[in-house]
Structure 1
């Protein structure tokens, strides 16, 4: 992946990029780390400034502002997007609010970064992508936060695929496994309600692996066949139950999203793919793995060993062929010229630093960021196709006995 070149001039000669962020929990903390760190590591054409953070709970959002270094706190996102000291709005809220906030921010003349998945429905995503396209004509940019593109090893994999190192693609297999819902007494959260999250493991984990597979392959998926399952359909309510639907007599609420999704797919080139996303893989905390097989070679990446990329050169003689480990810590690997000496690995948090780096450069250069809202819409269409296939039981055929 070629590093974007900064335009002439330094960050001190150009206006800062003043960021306002909506949401302060897990993703808010991760994005804060990215914005706070990026200008201290990379030479940037514009220096990010943490102008304001927003959340509904005044006490909590002020604490988050102090912890993460935001200059001001708001409790109404509408107030944040109209602030004169905010150039870019970073959306780290549940999916049900992405469309409303992003559309309002674009209408207010702001650049936008929106966490994945882009929206809860294809219709919302279509509206957002259209608004982003119109905003681009006015000089505003909109990007989706698929941070796993920013792991140096996956960026290197994309470069190698583009160079033809695996040749014509034949297979992609990818899984994203977690276990945080294995306990049936784990409480109901917004992530388990369709009206708030859009979908379950499919949107939360599946969106990541669909985007990553398409990014690495350099092409889009053309069709899917799917199964989904919800293993535990009611869970206890803990604390405030606002927005979590009807409460049963025993104090539980209904789970209305999938717990696991399995699907096969075909790329536009005809290459085959398989996907698995679940929150019920006992013992797996955040296990994302992807492998690409082509006529000339193969690449494999495991997020639990994120400084490594495995490569098999199928053109070598059998006597010395096999997978070899590439330690992705060299200065000519993506992003790594700004970090530590070779052999000193990076981690999960650095993907958000790299995300901020790429977006700042795109804004300063006035070019379309990647992944764009159009890319987010395409992922949303894949997720919708998976849900439709699963609802129709299109891959389930009873076995005769």
Structure 2
């Protein structure tokens, strides 16, 4: 699909990072540990934080992401900034002849996402939308044990995060984070990865807010109907009107059930309940970064494609339209 001969045994991959927050630091640490890559440039939102980040990782400060994606010594751009800007940066980076890694979602507009995926192919440049949830211990344990419960018919997936008071940051900003199930796309992508094509979505969403741009709380509940006949309920909530931390995933099948509460899992079958060993959530950014470099340099397959992430973005957009219009939205797109 693209020429990776420059990286094969010749020189490290030059990386530019957009952002200086938690994700950017995790990426920079992973790059520092891998001699096949070299972090050469960083662009951030806050000058002091950007200078400190650059100093920690011996990178050059670039005044804007627009300038960063045009640097000659940058082969790969890693986008670790607010959701709103993902699409614009990815598009400009690909147009500038760079490979791109972006945290989910690719962007907040389905048509734009389709154009970016097409652009990566036209430019013959690598595009990777990170989905760490697929690499985590809970998801891997789910995949391993699903065959034991027979035909699945119902899933409940709840993630609730109380925050008192809610932080006034981008994850509580309508424009910067986007519709809750788009900004938190992993809540739906995990289901699509496990259960395939979605037929219809019904969603209800509520915000609690005392100003226009930022909210103090949100609750989003969606029902997804899958082509297999499985029905899934997803609940995503955060902020000041939430009172109990919850991270629970249940899959009910005709021969048993899988129940994960936090990082603890059990397999329930007639007459017995067995504990399930769940791997750690630590080190996933490093794992993803290593897999990206393996793919760029050696052509090793990755665990997710941009098209798969794009499909889930379409499901999330259907949830947004359902909540906005108060109707069930039917999806026409096939998964592949």
Q: Quickly name the TM-score band, shorter chain normalised.
A: 0.7 to 0.9
1:383 aligned partner: 316
Gaps of 5+ in 1: 1-10, 40-45, 236-252, 330-345, 396-401
1:209 aligned partner: 187
1:290 is aligned, of 249, 274, 286, to: 249
- Closer/same/farther in 2, CA of residues 54 and 382 from structure 1, 3 Å limit: same
Structure with more relative contact order (C-alpha pairs < 8 Å, separation 6 or more):
1
Answer with 1 or 2: which has the greater Rg. Answer: 1
Trace 1:2-401 onto structure 2 (pairs within 5 A): 13=9, 15-37=11-33, 39=34, 47-67=36-56, 69-135=57-123, 138=124, 140-161=125-146, 164-180=147-163, 182-183=164-165, 186=166, 188-199=168-179, 201-205=180-184, 207-217=185-195, 219-232=196-209, 234-235=210-211, 253-255=212-214, 259-280=218-239, 282-284=242-244, 287-302=246-261, 304-305=262-263, 308-312=264-268, 314=269, 318-319=270-271, 321-322=272-273, 324-328=274-278, 346-348=280-282, 350-366=283-299, 369-394=302-327
Measure how far apart 1:153 and its partner are.
3.6
Measure how far apart 1:25 and its partner are.
1.6
Count of residues in correspondence between the two structures: 321
Measure how far apart 1:188 and its partner are.
4.2
Structure holding more strand per residue: 2
- Closer/same/farther in 2, CA of residues 204 and 361 from structure 1, 3 Å limit: same
- Closer/same/farther in 2, CA of residues 309 and 131 from structure 1, 3 Å limit: farther
How big is the alpha-carbon RMSD for the aligned residues of Structure 1 and Structure 2?
2.7
Measure how far apart 1:278 and its partner are.
0.7
Give TM-score, length-normalised by structure 2: 0.84
Separation (CA, whole Å) in 2 of partners of 1:258 and 1:123:
29
Q: Do the aligned residues in 2 keep the contact of 1:112 with 1:142 (CA within 8 Å)?
A: yes
Q: Do the aligned residues in 1 keep the contact of 2:207 with 2:219 (CA within 8 Å)?
A: yes
Separation (CA, whole Å) in 1 of partners of 2:224 and 2:143:
20
Measure how far apart 1:30 and its partner are.
3.0
Q: Deviations over 1:312-349 (max 9, x none)?
A: 4x4xxx44x22x223345xxxxxxxxxxxxxxxx444x
Give TM-score, length-normalised by structure 1: 0.72
Gaps of 5+ in 2: 1-6, 329-336
Separation (CA, whole Å) in 2 of partners of 1:198 and 1:74:
27
Q: Deviations over 1:51-93 (max 9, x none)?
A: 22211433320101223x2422212112222223222111011
